[in-house]
């Protein structure tokens, strides 16, 4: 069999994303949209703050009377405004977030005031100042652009949308996926594993990675290495927007994913990527459905899911920027020169940089579970010395999922 030459992973990512478009949108209560992607630009429906507010607890005074003394004539509490301008010599009690009185006014901090009955004066510390006033529209004004289409709704973005007067939001519809484990050696029950078997672990790992980006996950398999079994399993994947397979993607006699997909009438878009781990990655389409065929080795499966599957799901869910973002950090260890494939090296965060994990075999789950970052080394790179800057994807506490 003559094999297609492996393509660079950046090119493969671009080709995959160019094939995909957002699935459409649905309207959801804003409070339920964290993690979703905004389907349209969001404009403010109101101004925030809607009036000048006090930023501190204390007293509101006239802006032309910053040193007093004053007479306290009332109060503005949050939600209970004082509804007139101050006359000369007047002050009102004011709390943080409460409306300032009408007219130009300033705030005297409570800690800087001395009060006896309603008589109020400075206590020798700072005078009243307009700096403690939050001006009308400080955050945004009605009609301002708050968020772009395709933005991921972080918890803060949800708060912003609510503050902007939006009780519901149009967000991208989430894809439905099927995740298929394949291989004769896989045991479904990790507590009952014959010596010639290993527990099926990729499906659960992949499902966990996709959670939050999908509406439903159908788990299929483990599917034995026969065309009949594969045929039966694929027949159950018809409702999925994306079918994810792991294993059986390489060139062995029992690697049936590709022939089974072809028989299922999926069209192979590309197969084989110049990256380590992850060379046998396969992308196919059946009508509007995508197939992401991940390599079976657990590390290869995870890394290719991170670089291809999750970006595809994000794009389908409406993300404007679906790819993970690498940052640059010093490597604390020397790294060997690379060959013809880009390398994704499992690493941990160290003191002032990244440090590589000892076991880099693509079957090694212990090192994978310990990894907090992937160092991305280009193909044909020379040796890196300790202290050299390298591109890093953060998987833990900052993973761009």
Q: Whose Cβ is closer to ligand LQZAQKY5: residue 172's or residue 298's?
A: 298
Among 105, 174, 249, 367, binds ligand LQZAQKY5 (CB under 6 A): 249
The minimum distance between CB 29 and ligand MOO, in angstroms, equals 42
Q: Computed from CA positions of residues 326, 17, 304, 322, in that sequence, does the dihedral angle turn out positive or negative?
A: positive
Locus of tokens 């709390």: 95
Torsion, Cα 303 305 306 307, to 10 degrees, reads: 90
Among 6, 58, 277, 318, binds ligand MOO (CB under 6 A): 277
d(CA 250, CA 282): 9
d(CA 301, CA 365): 11
Q: Whose Cβ is closer to ligand MOO: residue 93's or residue 279's?
A: 279
- Binding of ligand LQZAQKY5 by 248 (CB under 6 A): yes
Cβ-count burial of 241 within 10 angstroms (0-12 exposed, 13-18 middle, 19+ buried)? buried
d(CA 75, CA 98): 9
- Binding of ligand MOO by 362 (CB under 6 A): yes
The minimum distance between CB 344 and ligand MOO, in angstroms, equals 9
Query: Rounded to an integer, what is the distance from CA 170 to the centroid of its chain?
Result: 18
Q: Which residues pair with 143 in a beta bridge?
A: none
- Binding of ligand LQZAQKY5 by 343 (CB under 6 A): no
**Those residues with Cβ within 8 angstroms of residue 124's Cβ, 6 or more apart along the chain or in another chain:** none
Q: Are 68 and 122 in contact (CB under 8 A)?
A: yes
The minimum distance between CB 252 and ligand LQZAQKY5, in angstroms, equals 6
Q: Whose Cβ is closer to ligand LQZAQKY5: residue 131's or residue 196's?
A: 196
Q: Whose Cβ is closer to ligand LQZAQKY5: residue 128's or residue 275's?
A: 275
Q: Whose Cβ is closer to ligand MOO: residue 48's or residue 297's?
A: 297
- Binding of ligand LQZAQKY5 by 247 (CB under 6 A): yes
Residues at the interface with ligand LQZAQKY5 (CB under 6 A):
181, 183, 185-186, 198, 200-203, 246-252, 255, 277, 279-280, 295-298, 300, 362-363
């Amino acid at each position: 069999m003559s094999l297609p030459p492996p393509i660079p992973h950046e090119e493969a990512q671009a080709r995959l994303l160019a094939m995909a478009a957002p699935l459409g949108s649905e309207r959801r209560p804003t409070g339920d949209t964290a993690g979703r992607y905004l389907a349209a630009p969001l404009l403010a429906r109101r101004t925030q703050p809607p009036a000048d507010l006090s930023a501190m607890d204390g007293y509101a005074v006239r802006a032309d009377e910053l040193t007093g003394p004053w007479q306290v004539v009332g109060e503005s509490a949050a939600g209970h405004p004082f509804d007139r301008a101050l006359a000369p010599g007047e002050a009102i009690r004011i709390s943080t977030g409460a409306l300032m009185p009408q007219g130009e006014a300033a705030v005297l901090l409570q800690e800087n005031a001395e009060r006896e009955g309603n008589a109020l004066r400075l206590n020798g510390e700072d005078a009243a100042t307009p700096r403690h006033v939050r001006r009308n529209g400080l955050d945004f004004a009605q009609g301002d652009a708050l968020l772009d289409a395709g933005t991921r709704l972080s918890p803060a973005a949800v708060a912003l949308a609510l503050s902007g007067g939006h009780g519901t939001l149009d967000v991208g519809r989430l894809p439905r996926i099927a995740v298929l484990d394949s291989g004769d050696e896989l045991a479904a029950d990790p507590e009952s594993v014959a010596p010639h078997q290993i527990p099926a672990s990729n499906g659960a790992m992949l499902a966990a990675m996709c959670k939050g980006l999908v509406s439903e996950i159908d788990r299929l398999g483990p599917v034995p290495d026969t065309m009949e079994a594969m045929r039966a399993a694929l027949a159950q994947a018809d409702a999925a927007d994306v079918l994810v397979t792991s294993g059986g993607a390489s060139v062995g006699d029992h690697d049936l994913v590709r022939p089974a997909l072809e028989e299922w009438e999926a069209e192979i878009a590309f197969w084989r990527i110049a990256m380590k781990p992850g060379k046998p990655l396969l992308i196919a389409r059946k009508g509007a459905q995508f197939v992401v065929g991940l390599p079976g080795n657990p590390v290869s499966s995870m890394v290719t899911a991170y670089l291809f599957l999750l970006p595809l799901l994000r794009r389908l869910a409406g993300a404007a920027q679906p790819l993970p973002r690498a940052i640059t950090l010093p490597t604390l260890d020397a790294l060997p020169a690379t060959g013809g494939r880009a390398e994704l090296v499992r690493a941990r965060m160290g003191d002032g940089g990244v440090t590589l994990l000892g076991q880099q075999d693509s079957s090694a789950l212990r090192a994978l579970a310990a990894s907090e970052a992937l160092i991305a080394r280009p193909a044909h790179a020379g040796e890196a010395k300790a202290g050299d800057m390298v591109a890093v994807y953060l998987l833990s506490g900052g993973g761009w999922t």
